[in-house]
Amino acid sequence: MYDTVHFWLSRETSKGIPTKEVINSLSNISAITNLENSRDYFRGHLDNLNVGIFESGVSVKGSISKYYLKDNFATLLFGEVKPCIEMLSDKLHLPMHKANIHRLDIAQHFILQHPEQVYYPLLGKSTFYRRLEQNNGVYYTNTNRQLLFYGKVHEQKKKGQLIPPLYAERSVLRYEYRFLQRLPSFFNVANVTGALLYDLDFFCEAITKWETEYLAIRKKRILTIELESLQTIKDFEQALSISGLNALGGELAIISQIDLAKQAGLFKNKMQVKRLKDKIKQLSNTPRLTSHNELILELSNKITQAVSCYY
């Protein structure tokens, strides 16, 4: 489930860099002069990976899943991580298991019953992230991490790449969780290294975080009015309020309108905005009057199953 990884192997950690051997293992090599110190460094490719050779060390960036499996749709399983790192080390003549990891993406894609576009509006806000709607999905972002949900087949077609027969004409949604920086603090370790990627406890912790971040996203619920659940006047009022929210576009649309009104100075203070948003969230998630959409249950089950197979 690992995808993009950024390795940094310092000259000190590697106890020297065999620059000639590394360069000979690359294609599309270019020498670039650093204008600040007039020193040259080299860039090249190892298959799909971008490699930089600097005076202080070597950087390797790209999808290790695609590198090892030669397939942009295949998923790198836990048992394949160590052979992948070993193959990378052999090709570059470097101890990549000692390299520090500065970025780590965890990803999986799923074949769904419906077009992936209908799932995006069901994924609401998430605490500590800014939600961004894109042409091909929904992104959640902050300084250190990102969550991405997008159509995998759509992305491949846009890039002009071949679609494996298994996925042709299918709805394929990909969910990625990107640790962009500060990995040691998120995993409570001194350093995240190449060797740690094939430690089973670390791997399980990483994919659990992948699942947990998905579960933390507020999901759009549907109104389920059943006479036996409407026992009081308050129940009827709540049901009518939820119906009104849905008619106006649901929780996300109304909160967006509140944000616009806040920017226009239509609210007296921040507490007024907070209370209004909290009320909308409360109504949208009233347990007795709302339930999860079947599409969300489908996606949630697939994500949970992807993790549970390792426990």
**pTM for this entry:** 0.82
pLDDT at residue 261 is higher than 90: no
Using alpha carbons, select from 152, 144, 149 the residue that is nearest to residue 133: 149
- DSSP-derived 3-state class of residue 230: coil
Residue among 60, 56, 35 at smallest CA distance from 47: 60
Contact criterion met (CB below 8 Å) for 75 and 96: no
Render pLDDT for 51-110 as a digit per residue (tens, 0 to 9): 999 989 999 999 999 999 999 898 999 999 999 999 999 999 999 999 999 999 999 999
The answer to whether the CB of 92 falls within 8 A of the CB of 25 is yes
Inter-residue contact 101 to 7 (CB < 8 Å): yes
Cα 108 from Cα 302, distance rounded (Å): 10
Residue 133 has pLDDT above 80, yes or no: yes
Beta strands 100-112 and 290-292, pairing class: unpaired
pLDDT grade for 41, boundaries at 50, 70 and 90: confident
Contact 126, 149 (CB under 8 A): no
DSSP-derived secondary structure for 11-26: HHHHTS--HHHHHHT-
CA–CA dist 198, 17 (Å, integer): 24
Q: How far is CA 215 from CA 98, 125, 133, 304, in A?
A: 33, 11, 19, 9
What is the structure's pLDDT at 256? Answer: 74
CA distance 55 to 75: 34
Nearest to 6 by CA among 78, 64, 57: 64
* pLDDT score at 264: 76
Cα separation, 286 vs 297, whole angstroms = 17
Rounded to the nearest angstrom, the gap between the alpha carbon of residue 198 and the centroid of all alpha carbons in its chain is 20
230 backbone dihedrals φ, ψ, rounded to 5°: -100, 85
Average pLDDT score over residue span 133-142: 93
Per-residue model confidence (pLDDT) at position 220: 80
pLDDT at 288: 62
pLDDT confidence bin for 207, thresholds 50/70/90: very high
Query: What are residue 42's DSSP bridge partners?
Result: 31, 53
Amino acid 287: pLDDT? 63
Note the pLDDT tens digit of each residue in 269-306.
778 778 877 777 777 666 665 667 889 999 999 999 99
**Domain parsing of the chain, residue ranges:** 2-215, 221-291
φ, ψ of residue 12 to 5 degrees: the values are -65, -45
283 phi/psi in degrees, rounded to 5: -65, -40
User: Residues 133-162: what's their mean pLDDT?
Assistant: 93
| Mean of pLDDT values over 250-257 | 73
